A and B are shown apart, each in its own frame.
Chain A
Amino acid sequence: MAGNVLPQPKAGTRLGKLPRLIGGAWQSLRHNPIIIKELRHRMRSWHGLVDLATFSILLSGFGLIMYNTYQNSNRIYSYRSYIYNVYTSNAQTPRSQELGSNYFVAIVVAQLFLACMLAPSFSAPTIAGEKERQTYDIMLVTLLRPRDIVVGKLFSSLAYLMLVTIAGVPIASVAFLMGGLGPDQLIAGVVVILVTGLSLGAIGIYWSSAMNRSVTANRNAFINILLLYFVGPLLIVYALNVAFQPTPISFQFSTYAENNLKDAMMWVSSVNPMYAIVDTNEILKNRPGSNVLFFGNTPKEFLFTPVTRFLFISSGIIFIYLWQAVSHIRPLRPEAQRMAKTSKPAKTTTSTEAKTTEPLG
C-alpha cells in the first residue's frame, strides 16, 4: 500500500509544502497501475504513431497554407491597415506582427478542434469498456481507490492528446519568426489546449463511469460537450443580447450597465476555449499594456482576459465531473456512505469493537 500514498507534508513553510505535494502527485501518477497498463496497451498498437505522424503533417500543411495566404494578401492588408489604423487610433500593431499572431491562433484553434474530437473519444470508452469486458468488478475489488481509477483512466486517455499537443508546438512556434507573438501567448496556447483536453476528458470519464456501454458513454459525452461548450453559451449570449438590448425607450442605457453586460457575456463565452483564444488575441492586438491574463479599458483597470476566465471555468468543470465520476465508481450507495460517516465519528473505537465482536463472540 505504501507505494501509492502521497507523502504526508510536514507542518512547515508553505513553500516547502508545494514542491513535495507536486512531487507526491507526480509519483502517484507515475506509479498508477492503470496508467502503466493503458499506456502499454496503447503502445502495442502502432496506428497511434501513424496517426500522430499524419496529424503533424496535416497541421504543418495547414500552417503552410495559412502562411502563404497571409503573405500574398500582405500587400493589400498593409494598405488597408493604414486606413484601418487611422480610424482605430491603435497604430501600434504593425501588419506583419498581426500575421504571426493570426497564424498562431489558427494553429491553436485547429488543435483545440482536434482536442474536442480526441479527448472524449479516448476517455469515454475507458471505464464503460471495463464494464463491457467484465473486468470492472475485479478492478473495483483491488486496493485501487475510485480516485486512483479515475485519475489513471483520465491521464492515460489524455497521454496521446498531450503528445499531439507537444508535436504541434514547433509548428505553432513558426509564428515567432513572423513576429507579434509573445512567449506568454505560446505558453497560454499550450495550457489552454491541455486544459481543454482535461475538461473534455473529465466529461468523457464521467459518462464512462455513469454508463454501462462505451457507445452510449461516447454519445452522451459528445452531446454534453456540444451543449456545454457551443450551444449553451451561444444561446445564453443571444438571450442576454435580446433581453438587454438598449431600445429607443431606454436609450439611456448606462455605459456602466453596458460594461456589465459585456462582462457577463465574456464570462459565458469563455467556456469555449476557441473563443477564449481568438478573443484574447484580439484584445492583445488592440489594447496596449494588456497581457494574456489581464487587460483593461483604462490603464488602471485589470480585467480577466477570456483565457483567464476559461481557466477558471475549466477548473470548475474538471472538478465537478471528476468528483461525480469518483462517486459513480464507488459500488456502494451514497446513502450508506452518509450513514456510515455520521455514525462513525460519534462513537469511535467502541463502535467498531462492538460491531465486530458482538456477533462473533
Chain B
Amino acid sequence: MNSRERFLAVLAGEIPDRVPIVPVVDGYFAPKVIGRANDECYLDGACLADALAASMTEFGYDGAIAEMGLGPEPSVLGCPVEIEGNDVPLVVETIVGGRDDLENLIIPDPWSGGKMEPVERLVAAVGADQAVLGSVRSPFEYAATVRGLVEFMTDFYRDPGFVHDLIDAVRPATVKLAEALADAGVDAVVLKDSFASTSMISPDHYREFAFPSECDAIAEIAGRIPVILHICRNSMPILADMARTGAAVLEIDSPVDLAAAKAAVGSAVILKGNIDAVTVMEKGGAADVEAAVEAAMGAAKAGGGFILSTGDSIPRPAPEANLAALVEFGERYGNY
C-alpha cells in the first residue's frame, strides 16, 4: 500500500496495512526544513509548496497539508494580515465593528491573488502516491477573526443575533475556498474551528453558534470532498455533537483522552490525533514522542478508523528529530 492508498482506505472505512501518519505540518514548521523563513514562504507560493513537499519527502509521512498562500495583499476577508520572520500570519486589524460593517467583508475569489498557487504546486509535486489535504477556516472561526475574538465572544451575550448573522455572512468564504481546494485535487479538506473548543466556550455556546455553522458548511462541502473537522484543545464534552456534523474525520487535540473519544464516537467517524504539538513535539525528546505514539496507538488503533497526527500545528521551534521520531514510532507501533 502506498501512502495515499493507506489514507484513502481509512476514509473508506477499511483497515489499511498500518495506521496512516499525517501530522499537522503546515507553514509554521515546514519552511525550516528548507532553511527558509516563514514570512518568505507565506508570501511566495513556490517556497511554501516546496517546503511542505520537502518536509513530507524528508520525514516520510503519508500526507501533506496544502496551505494557501497569502498572496500579494495578505488579508482575511478584508482584514489586513501581517507576517514577520518565523511567526505565523496574524490579523492585525479587524474590520467588523458592528452590523453595518458586514457589507465591508470581502468574500475572496480563491483563484485570485496567488492564494491557490502553493496548493496547485504541491498537488503536482506530490503526485499520486501520497495524500494532500487542504485547509480552510470554519465560518465560526472566520467570524471570530474578522470581529476580533474578544468582541466576538462578548457578543454571545450582548447580541447573539448578530453572532448568527456574522457567521452566516462569512460562510460563503469557507465553502468557496473548500470547493477550490477540491477542484485543485486535494484528497480531503480540514475545516479548522480553533475557537469552538470547550477550552474556550461552553458546550451550550458550541451548540448554539459553532455546531450549526459546521453542519451548514459541511453540508455544502461534503458532497464534493471528505471533511476533517479540527477543534483545538479540549473537545471531549462536544465530541458526540462533532460526530454528527457530517465530518468524515475528527481531528482532536491532546487534552482529549483518545480511548474515551474512541469509545464515545465508536465507528461513526474516524479520529485523527492527538500528539501534543507543544509539550511533546516542541519541548519533548524522542523518548517522549515514542511514549505518546505508543499510547495513542494503544488507545485508538484497534478496529481501524484512526490516523496518527499531532493535535495541532507543529511549531517552528520543534526539533526536526521529533518529527522523524513521530514517523519512526508511528510505523513501528502502527501495523495491523
Q: Do A and B come from one complex?
A: no
Q: Chain A interface (Cβ within 8 Å of chain B)?
A: none
Q: Chain B interface (Cβ within 8 Å of chain A)?
A: none
